Amino acid sequence: MWVSCTKRASVAVAASVLFLSAGSASAPQSQPKTKNVWKPVPFAIVHFNEDAPKSWNLYFSSKRGVLLLRLWKRYLLIDRNAQQVYDVDPDKIIAKGDDVEFTAEENPGQPADITDWRERDIGSLHRLRFRFGEKGSYLDIQTPLKPNGTPLY
């Protein structure tokens, strides 16, 4: 009898602790916005007007179809889903070693004037090619695919 009473008491205490912790977790809290960490895309290829730029890096985040390209001192946010490219202010981006921190949900700026948007799979790579303006420069980005042919980023 004594053992069953202590078991019931311990279950009641555990249930009340669980109930109180769940209540405090569901209460709205104003947490500061966390910046997304963007990691470099390994084995990516970038061409600007058919030549490799001297300084570039391509980053991906947890959101599929969105890439961040550093081209010289400029950053471009590339949204493959919406077929949009945004010129991002470099002051909004914080470099942390090989990674960068940037919140894509913030207003990235005005979309760039893009024409001639083309995407296709070429072997084990996904190729994205577009032109800045009507008679502007071409940008060609190639990212690796998974072995089953689906995009990694």
Confidence of residue 66 (pLDDT cuts 50, 70, 90): very high
For residue 34, what pLDDT band results from cuts at 50, 70 and 90?
low
More confidently predicted of 32 and 146: 146
CA separation for the pair 102, 91 (Å, rounded): 10
- Average pLDDT of every residue of the chain: 81
Q: Which sign, positive or negative, has the C-alpha torsion 55, 136, 152, 108?
A: positive
